[in-house]
Amino acid sequence: MNIVFILDPLDSLNGDKDSSLAIMREAASRGHTLYVSMQHDLFLRGAVARINVNKFTFFEQNFLTEEAIEYSPADFDAVIMRKDPPFDNEYLYSTYLLDIAANQGAKVYNNPSAVRDWNEKLSVSRFPQFAPEFLVTANNDLIREFLNEQQDIVVKPLDGMGGSSIFRLTLHDPNLSVILETVTNFGHRTIMVQRYLPAILQGDKRIIVIDGEPLPYALARIPKAGETRGNLAAGGTGLAQLLSARDVDIAKTVGKALKQAGLFLVGLDVIGDYLTEINVTSPTGMVEIAKQTSCKPAQVFMDALERH
């Protein structure tokens, strides 16, 4: 197959941990031809979707890229969107362009319309039976009411990643007012507010779902001392562990809806028994699971992609 990956700048990727590179290495080992593009390499000529791509080859522990050539996205067997958030206007525009490309015959993973529709924080509202108590608002008074009810909460933006701008708040936090003013931009930015889950101390579990089916292992991201965020980008430690019965129930139920929506690779975040996020843009954790268990997520991904 000829596969193009839309990525963040290559020099920003961690070769030892990056899930995109792990998938690409697996694809290369199977004889597939790889190409890479950046977000703004996708464009329209009139009504026709086009993309500039660089042929990509692994070379020992490094890689080589050739000069960019313009193609139609439909020329490839798969176009895999792996650009990291924030999900800003530029990301939104990319999903529109990928929609046009898909309508012109391109096979895009994940489905760009679904990426747009399944906000990574808001999508837990589709599965209230699994979600902790939560509130979505820009209204600071409503957030304070929720805090009075729950006593201990977490606030986070709707478009971030890696634990950025996430705060834990209690009733007597001396910085309560300024934090709420900051995260809501004085009541002009809608945020997610969730009940704080003490089980975060045992890890924020990343469950990887591929073509509707969860891997048997989750990556529990355990916060470092004094921290309430388990994200690896925030200093958390990743520990692979078998899915619990509750994890399986969540992942199987959500996985059916994901597959129906065309969301091929997704990372579910579960704290204790609760689903807290549904990551549809560029979920990670594959490398850590592969290193610690007999499960090889990149192989599972490529098996599923080849079936498609």
Whichever domain contains 188, its CATH number is: 3.30.1490.20
Res 246 pLDDT > 80: yes
258 pLDDT exceeds 80?
Answer: yes
Checking if the pLDDT of 210 tops 70, the result is yes
Is the domain of 76 the same as that of 7?
Answer: yes
Q: What is the predicted pLDDT for the residue at 300?
A: 98
Enclosing domain of residue 192:
134-196
Task: Look up the CATH number of the domain holding residue 257.
Answer: 3.30.470.20
Whether 57 is in a domain gets the answer yes
- Does 233 lie in the same domain as 204? yes
pLDDT tens-digit readout, 24-64: 999 999 999 999 999 999 999 999 999 999 999 998 878 99
Domain ends where: 196, 228, 243? 196
Structure tokens given for 111: 């489905």
User: Which residue pairs from 110-113 have beta carbons closer than 8 angstroms and sit at least 24 positions apart in sequence?
Assistant: 110/81, 110/262, 110/263, 110/264, 110/265, 110/266, 110/280, 111/261, 111/262, 111/263, 111/264, 112/81, 113/262
- Would 127 be classed as within a structural domain? no
Instruction: Examine the domain organization and report whether 9 and 104 are in the same domain.
Output: yes
Bond prior to 110 in cis (omega within 30° of 0): yes
What percent of the chain has pLDDT above 70?
A: 96
- Residue 264 resides in a domain: yes
Same domain, 213 and 269: yes
Question: Any idea which residues carry the catalytic annotation?
Answer: 121, 156, 206, 221, 229, 269, 277, 279
Distance CA 9, CA 274 (A): 34
Q: Are residues 173 and 261 in the same domain?
A: no
Q: What is the mean pLDDT of residues 125-154?
A: 98
Q: What is the mean pLDDT of residues 176-197?
A: 96
Average pLDDT, the chain: 95
pLDDT tens for 72-89 read 999 999 999 999 998 999
12/105 same-domain check: yes
pLDDT of residue 3: 98
**What average pLDDT does range 89-107 have in this prediction?**
97
Residue 125 in any domain: the answer is no
Whether 254 maps to a domain, the answer reads yes
Residue 227 in this model has a pLDDT that exceeds 80: no
* Confidence grade of residue 289 (pLDDT, cut at 50, 70, 90): very high
Query: How much is the pLDDT for 161?
Result: 73
Q: Do 90 and 6 sit in the same domain of this protein?
A: yes
Residues 177 and 205 in one domain: no
SS (H, E, C) 226-277: CCCCCCHHHCCEEEEEECCHHHHHHHHHHHHHHHHHCCCEEEEEEECCEEEE
pLDDT greater than 90 at residue 241: yes
pLDDT on residue 160: 78
295 in a structural domain: yes
Co-location of 182 and 234 in the same domain: no
| CA pair distance 261, 142, nearest whole angstrom | 32
The edge-to-edge listing of strands for the beta sheet with 167-170 is: 134-137, 191-195, 152-157, 167-170
Cα 11–Cα 12–Cα 16 angle in degrees, nearest 5? 90
- What's the domain count of the chain? 3
Per-residue pLDDT, 68: 97
Contact between residue 84 and residue 282 where contact means Cβ atoms under 8 Å apart = yes
Q: Are residues 20 and 54 in the same domain?
A: yes
